[in-house]
Amino acid sequence: MTSLHADEAFVEHYQLSHNPFAPRVPGFKFFPAQRKPVLAQLHQLARYSSLMLVVSGPLGSGKTLLRQALVASSNKQSVICVAASGRQAAGSLSLLQHFSQGLGGNSQDVDGLLGQVARLNQGGQEVYLLVDDAERLQDEALDTLAALATGDRDGRAHVFLFSEPELLTRLESLGKADSCHVLELQPYSLAETRAYLAQRLQGAGQDIDLLDDAQIEEIHLDSGGWPGGINRAARDALVEAMLADREPETAGERGSSLPKKHLLAVAVVLGGLALAFVLKNGDEPAPTAQSPVASGEPLAASGDAPPSTGPTIEFAGGQPVPLPLVGQGQPVLREPLAREAGQAAVEELDAANAAMPIAAPRPAPAQPSPAPAPAAPAPAPAQAAAPIAAPVVAPAPAPAPAVAPAPSVASQPRPAPAPAPAPTPAPAPAASAPAAGGVHNGWYLGQPVGQYTLQLFGTSSEAAAQSQVREGGGEYRYFRKLHQGQPLYVVTYGRFSSPEAAKSAVSALPARLQAGKPWPRTFASIQQEIRQAGR
């Protein structure tokens, strides 16, 4: 407990109006019987002696209190008192200026100040020059004070020095011991100590009953009977008694509350460590658990899928598909992926502006020799790509409306491409997928830019996209785009005239696809992504 806090605490504990043992208490005046002869002697010597009067005593012996009593007991009509401190005016010049200003002048030498004193003496007034903390005065200042005390034939000042005993040694070394009259203060007796304590406590609203006889005797012995030491020892005694009174309460608080707080903190830390351990152990077997795709839900977008060679992905009604290998991604949600790629808010393209880019890819569908293309389903069962070709033929009737705008742009290179978009998706997976970027890209490019489709999910594994198309049937297609420089296969469902119509079709999808929250997209935005991937 700091000294300031202790003072505040014991003042409140003992219901005191202030700290009664502070060094300076306004209005406090204690003058024991032994000090009265000293005070009377000072007045007597000032009247008849021309020597400097030195009051000596250790720090806290009551010198300042005696100086105040000397000033207070002087006759204000016949005595002018000017007090100074060796702490602020230690040199001769500063001391002379201070005294001269106190007497209403501006002298800076001994003769000038003695002239002021002489004029006051002629008017019937004596001058008392009092210096507290005189042990701090310089040697030249002591010479100046000795000259003022001696004075001249016109007048002299009465000089009082209140100092610690070390000043006496200096005066002897300077040869001024004979020009001084020394009064040494004596410590208080036990009775004076008790009276001093009683007056201090009464000034703060309490009485001496706060201290018992044993405490008072201990205070007297510890302080040596000097007032400053009595203040210190009495304060320490009251603070010690206060702490002793509070010890049971404080010990009870420490025994009841502090350990609980510590135990609670430890419990929280241990609980956090246990939770982290459980979560860590729960995350480690995750790679061996069934993939979300196996439960029928598309996976979120991911740059790289974790390698796996053991489990396979089961689609209801389909065939098992191996998990993607290193470098292949898993099916991802459509909306976050589109936003990341910067295509989430692609506006619908103008029909006239879209027509020009549509013509560019027309030669691509013509490469796989469209004439024999319709016959491909016959040998398809004998090939590995047969499962893909069989269901893809179904969309052939659907693109029929798109044939109308196709001849208007593509008729210049060759007249045949008009019916080509319908049959080309079938052989595309086996023959033209690497060149065109995806089996259904041509179908997407042939759709009106103002119509919509439902984007289901995207995946970096083309096998996963093919599996969903085979399982879903003719309304399911996928296209190829680039995401962060890597191929991405996006699966869509149907063709709709408005976003509301597309949203209404979500309820007809399987629950696992609805969980991915399909969202309507314009064919214009899809065509733009396909063209960017083909550059």
Whole-number pLDDT of residue 370: 43
- Each residue's pLDDT tens digit, 394-409: 444 444 444 444 443 3
Min mean pLDDT across 286-290, 477-481, 495-499 is at: 286-290
> Cβ distance 63 to 171 under 8 Å?
no
CB environment 442-457: b (16+ within 10 A), e (fewer): bbbbbbbbebbbbbbb
Q: What's the maximum distance between 2 C-alpha atoms anywhere in the chain? A: 150
Residue 162, pLDDT above cutoff 90: yes
* In-domain check, residue 305: no
Whole-number pLDDT of residue 176: 85
- Each residue's pLDDT tens digit, 483-518: 778 888 899 999 999 989 999 999 888 888 888 788
* In-domain check, residue 496: yes
Domain with residue 504: its CATH number is 3.30.70.1070
Residue 158, pLDDT above cutoff 90: yes
* In-domain check, residue 243: no
State the virtual CA torsion across 227, 130, 54, 39 in degrees, nearest 10.
-60
* In-domain check, residue 262: no
- Token output for 206: 């309490």
- Token output for 304: 């790289």
CA distance linking residue 462 with residue 440, whole number of Å: 12
- Token output for 72: 């207070």
pLDDT band for position 35 (cuts 50, 70, 90): confident
> Cβ distance 193 to 225 under 8 Å?
yes
Residue 292, pLDDT above cutoff 60: no
pLDDT band for position 389 (cuts 50, 70, 90): very low
> Cβ distance 464 to 330 under 8 Å?
yes
CA distance linking residue 388 with residue 375, whole number of Å: 15
CB-based contacts of 20, cutoff 8 Å, min separation 6: 200, 201, 203, 204, 206
* In-domain check, residue 29: no
DSSP 457: E
* In-domain check, residue 477: yes
pLDDT band for position 54 (cuts 50, 70, 90): very high
Min mean pLDDT across 122-131, 361-370, 428-437 is at: 428-437
Residue 204, pLDDT above cutoff 50: yes
Decide: helix, strand or coil at residue 84: strand
Amino acid at 74: S
Whole-number pLDDT of residue 17: 85
Q: What is the DSSP string of 246-278?
A: HHHHHHHHHHHTHHHHHHHHHHHHHHHHHHHHH
Domain with residue 104: its CATH number is 3.40.50.300
Number of domain units in the chain:
2
Q: Last residue of a domain, which of 184, 219, 250?
A: 184
SS (H, E, C) 140-196: HHHHHHHHHHHCCCCCCCEEEEEECCHHHHHHHHCCCHHHEEEEECCCCCHHHHHHH
> In which residue are the tokens 């002591």 written?
142
In the chain, % of residues over pLDDT 90:
26
SS (H, E, C) 340-396: HCCCCCCCCCCHHHHHHHHHCCCHHHHCCCCCCHHHCCCCHHHCCCHHHHHHHCCCC
Residue 258, pLDDT above cutoff 70: no
> For residue 372, what are the CA distances in angstroms to 77, 403, 436?
140, 19, 19
> For residue 191, what are the CA distances in angstroms to 222, 224, 231, 379?
15, 13, 15, 130
- Each residue's pLDDT tens digit, 63-75: 988 898 899 899 8
* In-domain check, residue 278: no
Closest to 160 in 3D by CA, of 248, 61, 48, 82:
82
DSSP 236: H
In 10 A of CB 240, how many CB atoms? Answer: 13
Q: Last residue of a domain, which of 123, 155, 184?
A: 184
- Token output for 82: 């000017």
Residue 461, pLDDT above cutoff 80: yes
Most confident of 170-184, 287-301, 427-441: 170-184
CA distance linking residue 116 with residue 533, whole number of Å: 109
**Is 55 or 473 the better-scoring residue by pLDDT?**
55
Closest to 196 in 3D by CA, of 186, 206, 208:
208
Closest to 16 in 3D by CA, of 260, 210, 291:
210
DSSP 512: H
Residue 18, pLDDT above cutoff 90: no
* In-domain check, residue 82: yes
Whole-number pLDDT of residue 375: 41
Whole-number pLDDT of residue 514: 87
Whole-number pLDDT of residue 91: 92
Residue 128, domain extent: 35-184
CA distance linking residue 244 with residue 246, whole number of Å: 5
Q: Last residue of a domain, which of 166, 184, 202?
A: 184
